[in-house]
């Protein structure tokens, strides 16, 4: 456990906030894994300062299993922190720091297990996939997945270690998000005929969004989820400077969350086409739906000691692995309720449980 805690301390110490560079962390992980004998490939993203990492312990030409995590974290500017969020603190069995639960704890467990995995006579490989900008809508991992056929034989499955209390999760909704921007012409509000109101230009799209949200309530249902229908919401609307100035700029951010079988981007199409404004797609990832009888579900239950759960409300990269042809399940340490909050933490026993689950996978492959 001391090794795993030390590794988590190092990972938390890299302030890899989503949307910023992660080269120092990825370089350190590469050196660590190569020292364990793993074959490591760095996969730069198009941004130039962010990298995915893919590593293999064992023979990459044989079908094996992927352990997947992301290394980015949400910002840590909330006033409720009792210490530096990027310095891990140990208090009463809690490991406190930004990303400790979501999801550098799983990453640390994987790294802690790597030396023992490397010493095992594995009949199938264990792959480690670390991605960037998951918190911005799973933007980084598609670049990794596009290279997967060059890196290894088709995997038998993928365990995405998001915090589920080490309970295997079979499904989650997909998500898409967009930003609408309207440009107008400023002027005095007493002469609207001499200006163009950007907020007014957004109204058809906002009206379409509200109508689509209501229509989805009466659309296809999946009782594994709460609520059981696909959802759509207007998250933010911004525009205008003062009451007596015609707004020359306005924008809105809108998201859709889709049950399995529905395309989240398609849910937003009526919104994207309702106004003559610019549309920027912010993110998109598919739903996850693993059959309860799939061998990966059985294996994850055996490794974790917990029966699979049908679904969770939050999204992960697992749907993208599944879309790429890799069966995927979500199972990692911690509680999602602690994520994205001040004093985020992972318990020491949860970290130890994750290490044991990963080592159990290694023993299964021997």
The domains located in the chain, with CATH, are 2-172+287-364 (3.40.630.10), 174-284 (3.30.70.360)
Q: Please, where are the H alpha helices in the chain?
A: 2-12, 23-35, 104-119, 141-151, 198-217, 264-272, 295-304, 318-323, 348-364
Q: Residue 346: enclosing H or E segment and its boundaries? A: strand 345-347
Nearest to 344 by CA among 44, 6, 87, 34: 87
The model carries a pTM of: 0.92
Strand partners, 280: 179
Q: State the Cα–Cα distance between residues 284 and 267, nearest whole angstrom.
A: 11
**DSSP SS3 for 73:** strand
Q: State the Cα–Cα distance between residues 337 and 224, nearest whole angstrom.
A: 19
In tens digits, what is the pLDDT along the chain, a chain of 366 residues? 789 999 999 999 999 999 999 999 999 999 999 999 999 999 999 999 999 999 999 999 999 999 999 999 999 999 999 999 999 999 999 999 999 999 999 999 999 999 999 999 999 999 999 999 999 999 999 999 999 999 999 999 999 999 999 999 999 999 999 999 999 999 999 999 999 999 999 999 999 999 999 999 999 999 999 899 999 999 999 999 999 999 999 999 999 999 999 999 999 999 999 988 999 999 999 999 999 999 999 999 999 999 999 999 889 999 999 999 999 999 999 999 999 999 999 999 999 999 999 999 999 999
Q: State the Cα–Cα distance between residues 159 and 174, nearest whole angstrom.
A: 18
59 among known catalytic residues: no
Which entry of 72, 162, 222, 343 is annotated as an active-site residue? 72
269 among known catalytic residues: no
Which entry of 9, 102, 107, 134 is annotated as an active-site residue? 134
**DSSP SS3 for 223:** coil
Inter-residue contact 106 to 12 (CB < 8 Å) = no
Estimate the crossing angle of helix 348-364 against helix 2-12, to 10 degrees: 110
Q: State the Cα–Cα distance between residues 336 and 340, nearest whole angstrom.
A: 9
**Beta-carbon contacts of residue 192 (< 8 Å; ≥ 6 apart):** 246
């Amino acid at each position: 456990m001391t090794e795993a805690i030390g590794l988590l301390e190092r990972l938390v110490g890299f302030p890899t906030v989503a949307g910023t560079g992660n080269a120092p962390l990825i370089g350190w992980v590469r050196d660590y894994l190569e020292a364990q004998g793993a074959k490591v490939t760095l996969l730069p993203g198009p941004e130039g300062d962010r990298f995915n990492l893919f590593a293999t312990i064992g023979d990459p030409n044989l079908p094996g299993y992927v352990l997947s995590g992301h290394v980015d974290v949400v910002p840590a500017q909330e006033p409720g922190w009792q210490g530096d969020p990027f310095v891990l603190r140990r208090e009463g069995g809690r490991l406190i720091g930004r990303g400790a639960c979501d999801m550098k704890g799983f990453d640390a467990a994987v790294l802690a297990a790597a030396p023992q995995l490397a010493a095992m006579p594995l009949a199938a490989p264990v792959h480690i996939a670390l991605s960037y900008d998951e918190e911005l809508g799973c933007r980084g991992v598609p670049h990794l997945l596009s290279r997967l056929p060059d890196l290894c034989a088709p995997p038998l499955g993928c365990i995405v270690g998001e915090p589920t209390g080490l309970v295997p999760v079979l499904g989650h909704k997909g998500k898409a998000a967009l930003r609408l921007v309207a440009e107008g012409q400023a002027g005095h509000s007493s002469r609207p005929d001499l200006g163009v109101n950007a907020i007014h230009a957004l109204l058809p799209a906002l009206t379409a969004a509200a109508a689509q949200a209501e229509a989805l309530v009466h659309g296809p249902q999946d009782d594994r989820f709460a609520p059981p229908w696909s959802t759509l919401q207007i998250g933010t609307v911004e525009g205008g400077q003062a009451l007596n100035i015609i707004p020359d700029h306005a924008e809105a951010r809108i998201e859709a969350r889709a049950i399995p079988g529905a395309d989240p981007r398609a849910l937003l199409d009526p919104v994207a086409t309702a106004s003559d404004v610019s549309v920027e797609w912010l993110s998109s990832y598919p739903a996850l739906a693993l059959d309860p009888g799939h061998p990966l579900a059985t294996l994850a239950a055996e490794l974790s000691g917990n029966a699979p759960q049908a679904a969770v409300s939050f999204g992960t990269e697992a749907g993208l692995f599944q879309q790429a042809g890799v069966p995927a399940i979500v199972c990692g340490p911690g509680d999602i309720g602690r994520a994205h909050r001040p004093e985020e933490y992972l318990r020491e026993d949860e970290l130890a449980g994750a290490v044991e689950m990963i080592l159990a996978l290694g023993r299964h492959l021997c």
